[in-house]
Structure 1
Amino acid sequence: MFEYDVMLDEANLWLDEPPHRKRKLEAPPPPPPIIDYTLPTTFSDSDEEEIDPVEREKYRKQVVESGGFDVDFFPVYGSLDQSGSTPSTVLLSKLGLHSYNFDKGTNLQFRSVQKANEEFASFTMYYITVEAMDPFNASPLTFQTCVWDAATKSNETSRFITKVCRIKGTSKETSLWDHDAVDEFYKDDISWLQDDALTGSDMLQYYEVKESDMRDNNEWLQLYAELVMFSKWETDLSAYLPVKMKKIVVRTREDVESSKKLRSKNATFYMSFTACGGLQCRGIIRRTTDGRPQHMSFQVNCWIDN
């Protein structure tokens, strides 16, 4: 049975410290059009007394059999709502595809959001069905990803965790995120790069990314830059893309040669870039894994320098 308390269980991982939610800030100048994607809430206490057991079972069966993805019946008492294609679901779809590609060594490309459901409990879980394409053979495919918009606690403005990333019809990978399995090295507060980082005692943990590496990995680095800006404004940022990368420094404790630090499963990225329109941005993304397939956590922070 689909467990509605899963999100509550995972949220307890943060209960040792009061979680912080993102503050809604004004859009960057000049602001792109802002669309209200808020869904109306029609639930009331009296609705519980009028629940049709046939409707309840129909809803429960769809949720259980699809894992939250293929649900087209939304009674007022359900925890799922339909959201469709929004700036959030589009960006998180790309993040799910990135996690899958990173783990599988593939290059699946985003085409569109087919449908998306949101589950509201302590935080928000997105169940997104995506039209994607494999450029290797130009074949379309249906991709599913579940991304958790989780609580924040380590000085980040956003934390997104990919929990399910799969081609539809393949085996389910729906295990909980294992916070305890994340290396303790990556659990401190995130802060901007220190001035002596590349020359200090820990210099071997750092790698200043070369322009050739930026070109070879441009697609997902552009995604990271978009994620950085989205963590601050939560709106459509297409008017500010693509960005021009100025400098990227990677820090990881993994014992790999410098040029491979960019592909480390656990790493912190310090990025400075110029968005279209001249906006000067700095951002941090800490990427960590818990050792389970396609599970990735992205802790994000953003600064504007002009």
Structure 2
Amino acid sequence: MVLYGRLGVHWFNFEQKRKLKFIRIPKLNTEHPFSFSYFITVEVKDDDAAAADSLTLQTLVRRPSFPELKLLMERCRIKPAEISDHSFNCFYQSFRGCMPTFLSELPEEADDDDGVRFYEVQAKDIDNNDWLRLYTEFALFQVCEAGSHSFLPQQMKIKKILVETREPHTDPSLKLDSMNAIFHISFRANSCDYTSVVRRSTDGISGHMFLEVENFSRQVPS
């Protein structure tokens, strides 16, 4: 649940241009009889605020199917802000359907459009956007669910991230700010190399986000 709570903090920060820091989860409720809906209360600290008091963030994350890792966020707010309940509308048209195949490089026959669509994340981008590591931790989480072992995220190392989006940006690095984007991630954990695709899509309603994670390969050193 910590990952789900951190996802709520990330998306609130992303949409509202805030710098809230995750502290802990003091309360968690599930929707019975089905436990794929998680109402999470997160204690956060505002790095931009002079006050030492913490804030309360509330988020609703659904995972409607297993073992697929598809997360539907339908609520993300600072208490006691009022929100309107909206069910998720159709997702961004371009990202419907099956997950794309993992890409380690630009397509071999890349044209000008491909050059505009892709951006290779730099080390400074990862330092400045800790949610890139969070997305990679979700990929690692799926690895742990699929296997009989587990290992701490601290043992994870991001090797490369390629961002793909159709949203226009004059500065390639601003593709990280796209509301709808695909992240081709390669990382190393527990002496193995993994490749994963993370797709983020929205429906235009504040607090809504759909995150899909799919791992494609695992390479064990010889």
Among 156, 159, 164, which residue is 1:246 paired with? 159
Q: Residue 206 and residue 173 in structure 1: after superposition, are their counterparts in 2 closer, same or farther (change >3 A)?
A: same
Aligned amino acid, residue 192 of structure 1: F
Among 182, 197, 218, which residue is 2:107 paired with? 197
User: Which protein shows a greater Rg?
Assistant: 1
- Unaligned stretches of 5+ in structure 1? 1-88
Other-structure match for 1:231: 142
Per-residue CA deviations over 1:113-134 (Å, capped at 9, x if unaligned) read 1111111466711001111111
Mapped to 2, the partners of 1:256 and 1:121 lie a distance apart of 45
Displacement of 1:96: 0.7
Displacement of 1:207: 1.0
Other-structure match for 2:132: 221
Other-structure match for 2:184: 270
Q: Residue 237 and residue 135 in structure 1: after superposition, are their counterparts in 2 closer, same or farther (change >3 A)?
A: farther
| 3-state secondary structure, aligned to 1:139 | coil
Among 41, 54, 58, which residue is 1:140 paired with? 54
- 1:153-192 superposed matches below 5 A: 157-179=68-90, 182-190=91-99, 191-192=101-102
Count of matched residue positions in the alignment of Structure 1 and Structure 2: 211
TM-score, normalising length: structure 2: 0.86
Aligned amino acid, residue 183 of structure 1: Y
- Unaligned stretches of 5+ in structure 2? none
Mapped to 2, the partners of 1:272 and 1:157 lie a distance apart of 19
For the 8 Å contact 2:58–2:78, the answer to whether it is kept is: yes
Mapped to 2, the partners of 1:107 and 1:198 lie a distance apart of 39
Q: Residue 238 and residue 96 in structure 1: after superposition, are their counterparts in 2 closer, same or farther (change >3 A)?
A: farther
More strand per residue? 2
Q: Which runs of at least 4 in structure 1 moved beyond 6 Å after TM superposition?
A: none
Other-structure match for 1:129: 41
For the 8 Å contact 1:123–1:150, the answer to whether it is kept is: no
Mapped to 2, the partners of 1:107 and 1:234 lie a distance apart of 30
Displacement of 1:172: 2.0
Q: Residue 109 and residue 209 in structure 1: after superposition, are their counterparts in 2 closer, same or farther (change >3 A)?
A: same
Among 91, 104, 117, which residue is 2:3 paired with? 91
1:293 aligns with 2:203: no
Aligned amino acid, residue 209 of structure 1: V
